[in-house]
């Protein structure tokens, strides 16, 4: 099978957005509504670096698209399109079938169209470029937190990191932890709901410690976080109690939750969002004039995920 047949067979899906022209021409064409901006982001996942060697094709596809959607969620953008660059060590029809089925399922769920891509031979890696739209001037930025804002985090932290930790030690993680590691749910609905409610937002991909610092630095504010306020699942709470390893939930990474700041006057609106989306939102601190991140009770330096 040549490259054109491969694309035709596995990646030529019908577009949901009829204002776009997808796979089959030299470029994809997209139209965009007036008064909207495009939000675009790219992420590469490499075998052995971002997912273990024995990860299923379905999980690789899911995570590759999901982590990109998470970046759109962080800006409050609505996912629209993506392109895919796939590098494969060999042509494997079963693998491709499983990969494209899983990718299409997630793409359909978030109504995001595959507009084109590229396939090459080499070490297994997946690059996805995702594009969404957001009303002009309303995107959630890292730089918009204000003194007095309350900082929140969605759901719990450390579940994926605990799964990874256990896998490396040859321990089979629980179903819940594995799902968080292999198929993290991008918080797209939350991001959209936060438009006009939150001031600043980021998705937690490299660990709360590092990612909340990006908000603090760009917004020129500070926060003091108490360890007791960090939302943990029962399993991660048990792990921390046994090991005192707070670095796992704070710097382990791969959470794909949203960390955001909300001004006092919007706290009631946030409570409505919490109920409507049936999501757990935890207050972890207040933005202060005194800059920098302080973590009360943390007695060691946690090494956050470093890409190099």
Nearest distance from residue 22's CB to Mg ion, in Å? 25
DSSP states of the chain: --HHHHHHHHH----S-TTEE-BTBSS-EE---TTEEEEEEEEEEEBTTTB-TT--HHHHHHHHHHHHHHHHHHHTPEEEEEEEEEEESS--HHHHHHHHHHHHHHHHHTT-EEEEEEEEESS-EEEEEEEEEEETT---BGGG--TTPEEEEES-SSHHHHHHHHHHTT----HHHHHHHHSPPP-HHHHHHTTTT-SEEEEESS-HHHHHHHHHHHHT-EEEEEGGGS---HHHHHHHHHH--THHHHH-----EEEEEE-GGGHHHHHHHHHHHT--EEEEEE-BSS-EEEEET--S--------
Identify which of residues 115 and 201 has a Cβ nearer to Mg ion in the complex: 201
Identify which of residues 130 and 240 has a Cβ nearer to Mg ion in the complex: 130
Identify which of residues 71 and 245 has a Cβ nearer to Mg ion in the complex: 71
Nearest distance from residue 205's CB to Mg ion, in Å? 5
Choosing from 43, 71, 113, 235, the residue that interacts with Mg ion (CB under 5 A) is: 71
Map residues 150-189 to x or -, x wherever contact with Mg ion holds by CB under 5 A. ----------------------------------------
Map residues 261-290 to x or -, x wherever contact with Mg ion holds by CB under 5 A. ------------------------------
Nearest distance from residue 304's CB to Mg ion, in Å? 14
Map residues 184-223 to x or -, x wherever contact with Mg ion holds by CB under 5 A. -------------------x--------------------
Nearest distance from residue 74's CB to Mg ion, in Å? 5
Total residues interacting with Mg ion, rule: CB under 5 A: 2
The window from 66-74, 115-123, 130-138, 158-166 that contacts Mg ion (CB under 5 A) reads 66-74
Binding residues (CB under 5 A) for Mg ion: these are 71, 203
């Amino acid at each position: 099978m040549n490259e054109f047949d491969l694309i035709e067979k596995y990646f030529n899906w019908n577009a949901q957005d009829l204002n776009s022209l997808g796979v089959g021409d030299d470029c994809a064409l997209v139209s965009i509504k007036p008064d909207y901006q495009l939000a675009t982001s790219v992420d590469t996942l490499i075998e052995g670096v971002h997912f273990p060697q024995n990860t299923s094709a379905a999980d690789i596809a899911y995570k590759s698209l999901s982590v990109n959607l998470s970046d759109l969620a962080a800006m409050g953008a609505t996912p629209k399109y993506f392109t895919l660059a796939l590098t494969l060590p060999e042509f494997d029809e079963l693998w491709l079938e499983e990969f494209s089925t899983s990718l299409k399922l997630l793409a359909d769920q978030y109504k995001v169209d595959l507009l084109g891509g590229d396939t090459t031979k080499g070490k297994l890696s997946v690059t996805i470029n995702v594009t969404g739209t957001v009303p002009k001037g309303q995107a959630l930025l890292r730089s918009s937190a204000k003194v007095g804002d309350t900082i929140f985090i969605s759901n719990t932290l450390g579940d994926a990191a605990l799964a990874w930790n256990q896998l490396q030690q040859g321990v089979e993680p629980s179903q819940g932890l594995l799902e968080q590691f292999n198929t993290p749910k991008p918080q797209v609905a939350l991001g959209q709901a936060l438009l006009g409610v939150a001031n600043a937002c980021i998705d937690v991909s490299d660990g709360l410690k590092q990612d909340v610092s990006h908000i603090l630095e760009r917004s020129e504010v500070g926060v003091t976080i108490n360890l007791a306020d960090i939302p943990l699942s029962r399993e991660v709470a048990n792990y921390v109690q046994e090991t005192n390893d707070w670095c796992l939930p704070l710097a382990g990474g791969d959470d794909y939750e949203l960390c955001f700041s909300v001004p006092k006057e919007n706290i009631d609106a946030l409570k409505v969002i919490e109920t409507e989306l049936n999501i757990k939102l935890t207050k972890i601190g207040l933005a202060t004039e005194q800059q920098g991140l302080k973590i009360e009770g943390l007695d060691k330096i946690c090494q956050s995920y470093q890409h190099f």
